Amino acid sequence: MSENHRKVECSNHGIRNNAFVCQHLVNSEFSGFWEPFDSDSTKEYDDGELNAWCDECDKILVEQGEWNDVSEEFAQIQLICEVCFFELKELNRGSSNYYSK
């Protein structure tokens, strides 16, 4: 892992590595948990490597064919800590989907 990776100060978990998820996962609006690879909470990841989005965001992503202005506007990606990321992943475990290129 890079020595100069960024940290986020989480009100629940303190200073942690960062992760990025769609607004819908943060707000518990839609289910599903799509990520570029199947992440593992026992491993460490580089800055920005952990990211996920919900089923509705994935539909827009598929329609658009890539992350672009339309898909990013819908997702409104949020910065969270890695612990929150894995908590959201666990909450969505029953509906988990994994997307990889």
Name the average pLDDT for the chain. Answer: 88
Q: Which residues contact 50 (CB under 8 A, 6 or more apart)?
A: 17, 18, 19, 20, 35, 39, 82, 85
Task: Name the pTM for this structure.
Answer: 0.84
The CA distance from 93 to 90, in Å, is 5
Average pLDDT over residues 55-68: 96
What would the mean pLDDT of 60-81 be, rounded to a whole number?
Answer: 97
Give the model's confidence band at 57: pLDDT under 50 very low, under 70 low, under 90 confident, else very high: very high
* Nearest-10 Cα torsion for 68, 49, 52, 7: -110
pLDDT tens profile 7-19: 899 999 999 999 9
What's the pLDDT at 47?
79
